[in-house]
């Protein structure tokens, strides 16, 4: 036994350890969950973008994705359900030098927090909003969300969902976001590149990332983890510049990915400076 013990080498450092609260591992995310992959992309993007770690802040709401802030070794804030964006808004306005990342889920950002999302986009608040869309409320056991496809089964739509989902890029574009993209967590490099680009781009940036929730959503919709990943591979098509009105998710036909909006307009802080602080 002793000889065996001597052979054990210290565990190698993970390349993201500098940005991880390793003392909080293991994380709460289930096997097969896609959030960790997106979180990892986000940390890689922070490193690649060369932004100042000390002035980079991650804000989350409530839910599985909302736990992201708790694992990032940044100034990180785990706020109330749906309120990550207005919390981040106050912080950004108070100190425009901060780089704001809002990392949260579809339920948090688009049901309870939907109003805050559209207004932050309208104001062009300078922040990057990453929405992990797993089509349901995972933390509470798999209820219907504002993103759940029609007919899908969840614990609150046991007979099938009678409602239709939001087309998030369309909503973001209509609200005034200056960057809008959609990827799946399988498109790791695209996700990382998008986030890296947005971290130094001024304005309200929105990145939707589809991610599987095999335990709660997949189980009730006859979709195993690997099935979801296969859908991400086989049913998606990348069309940069596609009209956001045309990118509603339909896994039976196809799901359009890509960067749909990448424009410039003055941010809230710039406009406030120009109009209210001029002299």
Site size toward other proteins (CB under 8 A) is 41
**What CA–CA distance (Å, rounded) separates 191 from 204?**
17
User: Is there binding between residue 140 and other proteins (CB under 8 A)?
Assistant: no
Q: Which residues contact 235 (CB under 8 A, 6 or more apart)?
A: 251, 253, 254, 255
DSSP string, 180-196: EEEEETT-HHHHHHHHH
Q: Do 61 and 104 contact (CB within 8 A), yes or no? A: yes
Using CB under 8 A, which of the segments 72-80, 147-155, 207-215, 245-253 binds other proteins?
Answer: 72-80
Q: Do 256 and 242 contact (CB within 8 A), yes or no? A: yes
Using CB under 8 A, which of the segments 91-99, 151-159, 161-169, 234-242 binds other proteins?
Answer: 91-99
CB of 269 to other proteins, least distance (A): 8
Give residue for tokens 């798999």. 142
When binding is defined by CB under 8 A, the residue of 22, 50, 95, 200 that contacts other proteins is 95
Dihedral through CA 94, CA 95, CA 99, CA 105, nearest 10?
Answer: -20
When binding is defined by CB under 8 A, the residue of 6, 31, 54, 159 that contacts other proteins is 54
Using CB under 8 A, which of the segments 36-44, 132-140, 207-215, 269-277 binds other proteins?
Answer: 269-277
**What CA–CA distance (Å, rounded) separates 217 from 251?**
14
User: Is there binding between residue 272 and other proteins (CB under 8 A)?
Assistant: yes
When binding is defined by CB under 8 A, the residue of 42, 74, 177, 207 that contacts other proteins is 74
Binding site for other proteins (CB under 8 A): 21, 23-24, 53-55, 57, 59, 69-70, 73-80, 82-83, 85-95, 97-98, 115-116, 119, 268, 272, 276-277, 279
């Amino acid at each position: 036994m002793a000889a065996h013990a001597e052979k054990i080498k210290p565990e190698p450092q993970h390349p993201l350890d500098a940005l991880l609260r390793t003392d909080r591992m293991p994380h709460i995310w289930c096997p097969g969950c896609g959030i960790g992959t997106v979180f990892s992309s986000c940390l890689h993007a922070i490193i690649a973008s060369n932004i100042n770690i000390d002035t980079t802040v991650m804000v989350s709401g409530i839910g599985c994705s909302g736990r992201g802030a708790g694992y990032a070794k940044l100034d990180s804030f785990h706020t109330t359900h749906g309120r990550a964006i207005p919390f981040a808004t106050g912080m950004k306005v108070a100190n425009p030098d901060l780089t704001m990342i809002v990392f949260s889920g579809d339920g948090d950002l688009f049901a309870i927090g939907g109003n805050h999302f559209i207004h932050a986009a309208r104001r062009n608040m300078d922040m990057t909003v990453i929405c992990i869309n797993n089509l349901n409320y995972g933390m509470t056991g798999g209820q219907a969300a504002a993103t759940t496809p029609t007919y899908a089964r969840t614990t609150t739509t046991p007979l099938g969902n009678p409602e239709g989902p939001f087309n998030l890029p369309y909503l973001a574009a209509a609200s005034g976001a200056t960057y809008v993209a959609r990827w799946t967590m399988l498109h790791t490099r695209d996700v990382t590149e998008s986030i890296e680009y947005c971290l130094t781009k001024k304005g309200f940036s929105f990145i939707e990332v589809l991610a599987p929730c095999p335990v709660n959503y997949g189980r009730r919709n006859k979709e195993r983890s690997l099935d979801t990943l296969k859908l991400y591979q086989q049913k998606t098509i990348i069309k940069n510049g596609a009209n956001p009105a045309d990118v509603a998710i339909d896994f039976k036909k196809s799901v359009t990915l890509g960067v749909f909006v990448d424009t410039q307009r003055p941010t809230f802080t710039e406009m406030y400076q120009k109009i209210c602080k001029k002299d």
